[in-house]
Amino acid sequence: MSTHTETPINLRSVLTPVLYSLQRPLHLLRTYNPHNLRADIMAGITVAVIMLPQSIAFALIADLPPQMGLYTAIIGAFFGALWGSSDQLLTGPTNALSLLVLGSLSSMFPSGTNEFIIAAGLLAVMVGTFQLVMGLARLGLLINFVSHSVIVGFATGAGILIGLKQIGPLLHLSFPSDNLFEAVRGVLATLPQTHPATAVLGIGSMLFVIILQRVKPRLPNGLLTMILASLVVYLLALDKNGIDVIGQLPRSFPPFKQLPIFDLDLIAHLSSGALAVAAIGLVQTAAISRTMAAQTGQRLDNNQEFVGQGLANIFSGFFSGYACAASFSITAVNFKAGARSPLAAVFTSLFVLAAMLLLAPLAAYLPRAALAAVLIVTAYGMIDRKEIKRIWRTSRGDAVIMIATLLATLFLRLEFAVLMGVLASFARYIAITSQPPVHSVLPDENFEHFVHKPERPVCPQLGVLTIEGSLYFGAAQHVEEEIRRNLEEHPGQRFLLLRMHRVNHCDVSGLHMLETVVRLYRQHGGDVFMVGVRETVWEKMRLSEFNTFLEMDHYLTQERAIEHIFYHILDPGICIYQCPVRAWRECQTLPKCEHDSMVAVGTVVPYTAVTHIPPRELWRQLMTAHKGGERPLVIDVREQEEFELGHIPQARLAPMPQILHHHIVLPKQEKIVLVCRSGRRSSQVAFALQAEGYTQVSNMEGGMIAWQEARLPAVID
């Protein structure tokens, strides 16, 4: 019966977010504010002007036909906007992903061949499928575990490789450029073969872009450079004198392409590259969307963004494009142009389509040298020197990941470089979380907060440790080792207080570790207490019955923990006679009386080793003594200062060291009841007196604390 009722509820809980993610365009249209239409259209026009030449240039980085860059821009911007979550994010071809696509495919197919183009489309579909599945499975949080240093390292390496690769078309040279060594060697070997006209046009275009960026940074410098270079080629007929041109682009909508989606061998060969492209695309997209959200205050949904990127790549692959992702430069232009909603990116897609249909014939005069010039300037901009310095100064761990990813990008296959950087991020995260700090803490000067002050002397009886991380299987051994190390450094600390308020998660391995620690301290005659146990951790303790192993009275409140342990657990004999430290608020007024040869101090007396008398029974015997009953001799073994603060009526003061050193001799023939603050010192004295032949000695159970709790009268001197 329960199975039939629970299954539909579980299915609904799973399907509801999936359906909501897929119905995102309907939600956008229903909630769209018509007042944003003009701003979105103007932003769409502005971005299209810049995106048009960039898309062609990025396609050439991947050694793909220039129209594939345009198709990717049209499809990627459309689907990425309608199914994404950011209002300003704009999806399309990017320089880093273009280089990564080339690196993933160049080892399997010759560039420019039909097989190479088909494989690029299939790779995009695989990338989109990975991203879509992650989004629908609500795995957007995984992207948070990939370090930003991976993107910085890969972008830096990609910028260097793109710049070297574009030297070829800039100077009309031909050389292999699969890695850094080949590219540098190829440039040096073929430099004498430079085509003068191409070099003049290419270098001139590059200077024009740089000057335009400095003088008029808001102008579409890439587009203006390409238009000017095309006019020079047309007017001087340079296309007939050895200048390579793009050639006329097709004037059509993005055509549907039949892809070998059931070719398992090809899919297997493309899988590592697809994972790398998907990872870099998602990390790059998440970083850009967060940057925009920080300025707009928009609340983002990583899972929805994964869905948008996944659909953009799937449809891009099927409609003659290649892998795409969010572009920071284009997104920044979209934001500065005043985009109010995702429809601005949709308008960009439509304007790029219109421009391609109208202006395609003009590409017949667009020189590849001008595109190479634009790409070299763009590649130089990919090297974020300010961010590199910031990472280097801030975190050595992030710096190592950045340098490792950079070197791998320069010298290894690109998909392996990316995956290595991602794995390094996960490895660093695991290393950090598997070694949570375990600090020994003490109260501050005002006894209001606990602080880590390793230079201060600690309490010889009680250790207080703060665990600053989750107790999962990867961290359990480290935490146990830190606790054992603390016990080895302070072997007298038989009692341990664990501050658990920063432990958000605890699995079975963590619980087993805690059980081991409790056994360890109990074997030393001590015990373990906890404060600040979170609800999620407590639920795991309850389900595993750990709360029966470590009893309920061992879970204390933050405010009263030290007070409870000090007055009920710690040995006051050690506090008074052996400890010069005043670590806690409770021991600030405690008398400190050092004596030699206090053998009984610190020993644990079993409860059954001495006779105990409850406070009310002692009071009854004292009262019946007035009626002729035998009156016990009440001996208070505390110090003078403690005695004066409150003692049992008619009790005699005989401090513990004076009894043990025989400075005070008690009568053996009388019935003696020993009293102290908590019953620990008096039980130790009773145990010592029994060893000397006292047969009528007993200990008042709980000491003066129990006496006061029973509301019995006390004398204050």
Largest CA distance in the chain: 134
Locate tokens 């080949």: which residue? 182
DSSP state of 586: G
How many residues appear in the chain? Answer: 717
Cα-only R_g, the chain: 39
Q: Do the Cβ atoms of 343 and 40 come closer than 8 Å?
A: yes
Distance, in Å, from the CA atom of 530 to the CA atom of 561, rounded to the nearest integer, reads 8
- Main-chain phi, psi angles of 669, to 5 degrees: -85, -10
Distance, in Å, from the CA atom of 28 to the CA atom of 10, rounded to the nearest integer, reads 28
Cα torsion 19, 24, 26, 29 to 10°: value is 170
Q: Active-site residue 579, yes or no? A: no
Distance, in Å, from the CA atom of 363 to the CA atom of 609, rounded to the nearest integer, reads 101
Distance, in Å, from the CA atom of 278 to the CA atom of 79, rounded to the nearest integer, reads 16
Tell me the three-class secondary structure of 518-542, residue by residue: HHHHHHCCCEEEEECCCHHHHHHHH
Distance, in Å, from the CA atom of 465 to the CA atom of 8, rounded to the nearest integer, reads 47
Distance, in Å, from the CA atom of 290 to the CA atom of 530, rounded to the nearest integer, reads 39
Beta-bridge mates of residue 496? 463, 528
Name the nearest CA neighbour of 86 among 258, 334, 299.
299
- Main-chain phi, psi angles of 451, to 5 degrees: -135, 155
Ramachandran category for residue 93: left, alpha or beta (phi over 0 → left; psi -120 to 50 → alpha): beta
Tell me the three-class secondary structure of 434-477, residue by residue: CCCCEEECEECCCCCCEECCCCCCCCCCEEEEEECCCECCCCHH
Q: With residue 603 as reference, give the H or E element that holds it.
A: none
Distance, in Å, from the CA atom of 220 to the CA atom of 326, rounded to the nearest integer, reads 19
Distance, in Å, from the CA atom of 335 to the CA atom of 326, rounded to the nearest integer, reads 13
Distance, in Å, from the CA atom of 2 to the CA atom of 8, rounded to the nearest integer, reads 11
For the chain, the distance separating the N- and C-terminal CA atoms, rounded to the nearest angstrom, is 73
Burial category of 81 from C-beta neighbours within 10 Å (exposed 0-12, middle 13-18, buried 19 and up): buried
Q: Do the Cβ atoms of 199 and 172 come closer than 8 Å?
A: yes
Name the nearest CA neighbour of 566 among 618, 516, 495, 670.
495
Distance, in Å, from the CA atom of 516 to the CA atom of 678, rounded to the nearest integer, reads 29
Q: With residue 653 as reference, give the H or E element that holds it.
A: strand 652-653
Name the nearest CA neighbour of 147 among 326, 317, 373, 391.
391
Query: Which residues neighbour 657 within 8 Å (Cβ) at sequence distance 6 or greater?
Result: 577, 593, 595, 598, 663
Distance, in Å, from the CA atom of 291 to the CA atom of 691, rounded to the nearest integer, reads 77
Query: Which residues neighbour 366 within 8 Å (Cβ) at sequence distance 6 or greater?
Result: 56, 226, 229, 230, 233, 245, 246
- Look at the alpha carbons of 203, 205, 208, 213 in this order and tell me if their dihedral is positive or negative: negative
Beta-bridge mates of residue 85? none
> DSSP string covering 35-90, please?
GGHHHHHHHHHHHHHHHHHHHHHHHHHTT--HHHHHHHHHHHHHHHHHSSS-SS--
Which position among 459, 575, 587, 676 bears the catalytic label?
676
Catalytic residues: 676
